[in-house]
A and B are shown apart, each in its own frame.
Chain A
Amino acid sequence: MISNSVKFLLNDKILEIKNPDPNQTILNYIRTELKKTGTKEGCSEGGCGACTIVLGELINNKIKYNSINSCISFVPSLNGKQLLIVEDLVSKDGKLHPVQDAMVRFHGSQCGFCTPGFVMSLFSMFKNNKSFNNELITESISGNLCRCTGYRPIIDAAKSLNKINRKDEFSKNENKIIKLLKKIKSKNIYIKKDDKVYFSPKNIKDLKNIIKNNSKFNFLAGGTDLSLKVTKERKDILSIIDLKEIKELDFIKVNKNYMEIGAATPLIKFEDEIKKYYPDFYSVLKRYGSVQIRNVGTIGGNIATASPIGDTLPILLSLNAEVLIESFNQKKVLPINNFFIDYRKTKLKKNEFIRSIKIPLFKKNIFKAFKVSKRFDDDISSVCGSFNFEINKNKIKEAFIAFGGMAAVPKRAKACEKILKNKPLTINTFDKAKNYLEKDLSPIGDMRASKEYRLEIAKNLLMKCFIEINSNKLTRVN
């Protein structure tokens, strides 16, 4: 079952795009082909939220409403989903959706350009949750920038939704939509348009066949980084294999000793699981990027991209995670500590894909992770530090320490670890150890932070660990 067309619901109508350009963004499609201009282009990189749309997806016979950045998502990813845009939240008789109505009543718009994006983010929140506390509201709109209001009226509008009848047009229509979604249930996609090809297999077997028979391609596992090649560099991505539709790559398994996560599992799904074991991993993920980004971004994508500022990477390094790799005829396991070779280079060979990641669950260890960036929401780390200590009777048995933003690759601080190992848990130990970070790390200065600041932060984060372990209290401002 292979199709070269993309079938989706535009609200409640089935649309089919035959042989689309696989590099066309959903935003471009909405504005230039659907001729609906409510969805805005703000930045073309998923950084402002003006282009936010919601994709309804059938999960366990229920619709999950995911907000995403349409400016960095390609048209084929609409396949099998329900596309909801701001115009379609208005009922057919012109009545505003409760989310829209609240935005009007609380003066949540001024210039109005960011507003459709906020409306869609809040709509997704409204549909996926039962009640809306401050934390949820803040998180839901952390990927939407507004330059006029200062956000307070938007937060108030969101809070007011707690008092609103939860039944909206969409819940009334839900059964009908579910039926339609089942009807258009997606098939394997293979698009060939001019010199561009796009594969979206549904299972590993088909994936292996594709990589067996093709040599040059880019894996798409969320695409929040890859898509910028089109939207920012103005280049074409000639061959894409989309991994997101492979259900076998989207799972989380937990046993006594480790958690295994499918490579194409969205970060947003992963963060709720990992919270139970490593709360700081969860805290860093919340700052990793906006909801829109975490809805599509995957842990496998973050690893394969191998950016020195990929926030999960130092954490996985300090937790000694393992990467399970497959090609069409082979399987292997690599410790993540041997995985990164150089700037954005990994041991992943051509025709290999990441199947899953295994994270050991250290029950007795003390684990801490910190992200420092200019802004709390949706920013790239100046420094991301991750610390995994085994401490016994006030003695440091083991220390696994890793940093992001401190070298060309996410990097373990082995000299520092060595100094800490088998030493007493005292301030002197840490004071001494922190200086070894200068040996381990070689940060650069750029627009985010200077070299000196980065090094200072790395040292201070180590000290913070000691302070927090010693006092058994967190010393953080956010």
Chain B
Amino acid sequence: MNFVYEKMMGGKKGLTGFLILATLILVIFPLFLDIFRLNLVGKYLTYAFPAVSLVLLWGYGGILSLGQGVFFGLGGYGMAMFLKLEASSVENTKIQSTPGIPDFMDWNQLTSLPWFWEPFNSLTLTILAILILPAAFAYIIGAAMFKRRVGGVYFAIITQVIAVILTILIVGQQGFTGGINGITDLRTLNGWDITTDSAKYIFYFINVALLLSVILISRLILTSKFGSLLLAIRDKEDRVRFSGYDVSNFKIFIFCFSALISSIGGAMFTLQVGFMSPSFVGIVPSIEMVIFAAVGGRMSLIGAIYGTLLINFGKTAFSESFPELWLFLMGGLFISVVMFFPNGLAGLWDDYGHYITDRFSKSKKTKEDSPEIVKKKSDESAA
């Protein structure tokens, strides 16, 4: 029990933060928001998966990936392909010239299901694909890059190019992927209607449960020896290498893990929103995920979730009323978070939060050495 308390919860401070977050998204949101708004929050919370993965990868590992959208997209498309195949049963697609294949394939004169769609007839294989494929893909990229000691800006650019390639492929190969519209009209999961309110509630809670478990597992990783090594690699990679560690394997692992998390987020996105499209894969969504993590605080797992929620609420509110102001605001946010608040909301809380907490409890708290407050102004210059 003590192990769980110290390692997963991160001691008293970590536990408090975790409980506040859990209360907010498990109790307060479902109680006070109607199902439409709650579904929207659920969608935002799926973006929190890649944001949390970037805290691990970028905040702690010093590896900036501008391609997390790729993994988010792979997970999302995996789930969407399964749902689409189920929606395109022979009875549902009688009017097509080839019944039994997804409608966009029929529009593009395909007469049979492409081979890589076949495994997605089975839910088990789909879930396996969502869990394994992105991680395997990340392994290939990571092994090729980190073994050759490519890092820093180069890695960021290459991951960005991969995001571009995948987007162009999805848009260009309309017959196989649904093109720019993506995969739409997803209705049932193993015969269960996913568009009903009750299904939306259930998915919301599954999503939150997954997200909270991701946070706990990530904490476990960060408080282990691996976590300390990761920080050490970020700050002085050469010294870790000279101490006899194979630096690249650690980097590959954290990259694969971050890909896995993002992919789960993508799959949950498809289930809650009911479609998947290339606009969640490319450069812009990928870099927005970075800003979610940066605003929340690149060193704070929980902060990433608040950052994601805050920016997406802001985006929805602003793009409804002042669409032209939003880009200015977003740009300003990028600049100011980098220049003035490199530790994001979590950093602000660490610096000024005690003014608030002091009011509630008169006793002065000593700061514990949880990973959230390991502050390092020096950055990715480790490379």
Q: Do A and B come from one complex?
A: no
Q: Which residues does A use to contact B, with CB under 8 Å?
A: none
Q: Which residues does B use to contact A, with CB under 8 Å?
A: none
